[in-house]
Copies of this chain bind each other. A is one copy, B any other.
Amino acid sequence: MQFQFQILATDQNARRAQLHLRRGTVNTPAFMPVGTAGSVKGVHPENLRETGAEIILANTYHLALRPGDKHIASLGGLHKLARWTKPVLTDSGGFQIMSLGKNVRVSEDGATFNSHINGDTLQLSPERAAEAQINIGAEIAMVLDQCIALPASEQKTRDAAERSARWARRAKKFWDDDPRVSHSEGYGLFAIVQGGMSYELRKQCAAELVAGDFSGYALGGLAVGETQHEMLEVVGAVAPLLPRDKPRYLMGVGMPDDIIKAVIRGIDMFDCVIPTRAGRTGLAFTGCGTLNLRNACHAADERPLEEDCPCPCCRADPAGGFSRAWLHHLVRGREILAAALLTVHNITYYQRLMRALRGAVERQSLAQFARDFAAGAESPARGSEASLPEPR
């Protein structure tokens, strides 16, 4: 049964809301750390919870290949296996239709992948992708869509968008018929609006999907090579076409600045590999910019990444509070502790940003927050969360 979605405050087009899911409430605007194979790389679930993350994203293609969605179901589901007690959203495998390129064949029935691991064949139809996500135990499943790289021809973009809309209906029918999600409260299936850079195609796709009455709506096929300006144009044009009373999710986005500007345009949910991948390559997000800890300028810097950050890398008590100098040393030595510390810091940074955004919407001061952030005056830490109650 579909989850409850409750809008607590608005500021122009921006919304501050809650998704009441099977395994917990997600406060929006929300950022979902990416755990492709069911585990956010290098982060213990206990530390992940401490970052403030209330939902993570896992990937159907990857988990269906290894360890297998039926295997996951037989062991009690992903939450139990990965010891993550809060909600999970699974992407459907549609992104891999694009990213795995020549290893994928697409027909009206679905997609056939040659495994990137061992060449085994994996078939994902709209129905099979939905089934896999239910097997995994995700609170929010995504319809299988056909994601394409940009730029693309009008015809190719139209074909993919129309097929995605047909696949979405098939996924919905399958999902509605599975008692594991349709007879329990707090689950949902999101449709994905495709259509590339074309307003007309996006509008047609959105209209078809809205008629299908999904639990939420995602914007797909963005953050795939277009400029930020182009991306925001699509977001600004499409968000108003989506139901006001359903969550809106911008897939694969992005940098903090992208997120702020998309929240202003009415987006509620985000996921992106940037904070985690950056952490593994020695990059740290801070209120004073993005630091590359490999750089020699950090070699003797005794400051933590951020003075007031509560993460296991920055906090001074009882054993944290690593200096930039030491992080520089760990990064240069390719110590995996560096990857782990920077990853958990970056996720914390993103979660504090989302918290600050929620507070700004509640106080109807989002425009000011965005200006301050752009001017470097507003760090996530300074934008404090509002006084609105947060039901558990």
Scan A43-84; emit 1 where CB is below 8 A from any B CB, else 0. 111100100000000000000001100010011100001111
Scan A70-105; emit 1 where CB is below 8 A from any B CB, else 0. 010011100001111100000000000000000000
A42, A43, A302, A332 pick with most chain B CB within 10 angstroms: A42
User: Are B336 and A41 in contact, with the CB atoms below 8 A?
Assistant: yes
Scan A325-338; emit 1 where CB is below 8 A from any B CB, else 0. 11011101101110
User: Are A46 and B312 in contact, with the CB atoms below 8 A?
Assistant: yes
Determine how many copies of this chain the complex contains: 2
A192 within 8 A of B: no
A33 within 8 A of B: no
| Other-chain contact of A44, B45, B319, B328, B329 (Cβ < 8 Å) | B319
User: Are B322 and A37 in contact, with the CB atoms below 8 A?
Assistant: no
A25 within 8 A of B: no
- Nearest-neighbour CB distance to chain B for A332, whole angstroms, equals 7
The answer for the CA separation of A43 and B47 in the assembled complex, in Å, is 13
User: Are B44 and A312 in contact, with the CB atoms below 8 A?
Assistant: yes
| Other-chain contact of A319, B46, B325, B336 (Cβ < 8 Å) | B46
Scan A310-329; emit 1 where CB is below 8 A from any B CB, else 0. 00100000111111011011
Residue of B nearest to A80 (CB): B323
Give the chain B neighbours of A42 by CB distance below 8 A. Answer: 335-337, 340
The answer for the CA separation of A11 and B320 in the assembled complex, in Å, is 40
The answer for the CA separation of A299 and B70 in the assembled complex, in Å, is 13
A39 within 8 A of B: yes
The number of chain A residues touching the other chain, given as a range, is 35 or more
- Nearest-neighbour CB distance to chain B for A209, whole angstroms, equals 33
Give the chain B neighbours of A201 by CB distance below 8 A. Answer: none
Give the chain B neighbours of A337 by CB distance below 8 A. Answer: 39, 41-44
User: Are A299 and B83 in contact, with the CB atoms below 8 A?
Assistant: no
Give the chain B neighbours of A377 by CB distance below 8 A. Answer: none
A43, A84, A329 pick with most chain B CB within 10 angstroms: A329
A339 within 8 A of B: yes
Give the chain B neighbours of A137 by CB distance below 8 A. Answer: none
A110 within 8 A of B: no
A300 within 8 A of B: yes
A38 within 8 A of B: yes
Residue of B nearest to A326 (CB): B81
Give the chain B neighbours of A335 by CB distance below 8 A. Answer: 37, 39, 41-42
User: Are A321 and B39 in contact, with the CB atoms below 8 A?
Assistant: no
Give the chain B neighbours of A332 by CB distance below 8 A. Answer: 66-67
User: Are B39 and A300 in contact, with the CB atoms below 8 A?
Assistant: no
Residue of B nearest to A344 (CB): B44
User: Are B320 and A37 in contact, with the CB atoms below 8 A?
Assistant: no
Give the chain B neighbours of A325 by CB distance below 8 A. Answer: 67, 75, 81
Residues on A lying within 8 angstroms of B by beta carbon are 37-39, 41-46, 49, 66-67, 71, 74-76, 81-85, 280, 299-300, 302, 312, 318-323, 325-326, 328-330, 332-333, 335-337, 339-341
15 A-B contacts, Cβ less than 8 Å apart?
Answer: A39-B337, A42-B336, A42-B340, A66-B329, A66-B332, A67-B299, A67-B325, A67-B329, A71-B300, A74-B300, A75-B302, A82-B326, A83-B320, A83-B326, A84-B319
